[in-house]
Copies of this chain bind each other. A is one copy, B any other.
């Protein structure tokens, strides 16, 4: 068990490709007793149309269906994942208001499963789902495997989001100068340029200069967007 975790952690952190990382996660899921495994990553930005990516070994037909019918928008496990990092078990109760979706998933062999999510500074939420067709999944089994699940969800997210993030959100690589950060911090807290000028003992012109530079770097249309992006990406 110890050997497993050590070996696999190595594997996760040294893997070069997303594909390799995901395969490692799949095999760890298998060792926990689950054939099916999906990792979903949802970026917080842009807020009006958040980017989502998935790596999955679910049946292809189901993945396609999920995509085309935009089940992501109604999937209760996704809803839960965005709110809480507690593990969530697939139960009838959970899918009470989305019975058709649930029926359809089961018809593809996705019958017993659970998921756990995890968040990090660049405003990304990752959800790891483990599922299988055959054996029921009891609260007891879940409790017994909670440690490993917590660890796996965490490390899967760290390993995969590190690869996926720069591609999906180039702004995440931006470097802001100290002044830009300071000015954006006050901006995000609701100070006007004039107030920030007083606080920092510089001209209002200079404040606006820094804000505008930061907005350009962050690919933001105005200071509001710049402040939000910088805050969400953890620059402030």
- Could you tell me if A5 and B227 are in contact, using CB atoms closer than 8 angstroms? no
- Could you tell me if B144 and A147 are in contact, using CB atoms closer than 8 angstroms? no
Q: For residue A14, give the distance in angstroms from its CB to the closest CB of chain B.
A: 14
- Could you tell me if A190 and B82 are in contact, using CB atoms closer than 8 angstroms? no
Is A231 in the interface zone, CB < 8 Å from B?
yes
Is A187 in the interface zone, CB < 8 Å from B?
yes
Is A236 in the interface zone, CB < 8 Å from B?
yes
Known: A82-B121, A85-B118, A121-B83. A189 touches B46 (CB 8 A): yes
Contacts of A85 in B (CB 8 A): 118, 120, 154, 158
CA distance A148 to B186 in the complex (A): 39
Known: A151-B147, A189-B48, A231-B231. A224 touches B221 (CB 8 A): no
Copies per complex of this chain: 2
Is A203 in the interface zone, CB < 8 Å from B?
no
Contacts of A232 in B (CB 8 A): 231-232
- Could you tell me if A151 and B146 are in contact, using CB atoms closer than 8 angstroms? yes
- Could you tell me if A143 and B6 are in contact, using CB atoms closer than 8 angstroms? yes
- Could you tell me if A224 and B147 are in contact, using CB atoms closer than 8 angstroms? no
- Could you tell me if B222 and A190 are in contact, using CB atoms closer than 8 angstroms? yes
CA distance A5 to B190 in the complex (A): 44
**Which residues 32-58 of A have a CB within 8 angstroms of B?**
44, 46-48
- Taking A47-B231, A150-B155 as given, write out 17 further A-B residue pairs in contact, using a Cβ cutoff of 8 Å, ordered by the A residue number: A5-B144, A47-B189, A84-B158, A85-B120, A85-B158, A147-B147, A147-B148, A151-B151, A188-B224, A189-B228, A190-B221, A192-B222, A223-B224, A227-B227, A227-B228, A228-B231, A231-B232
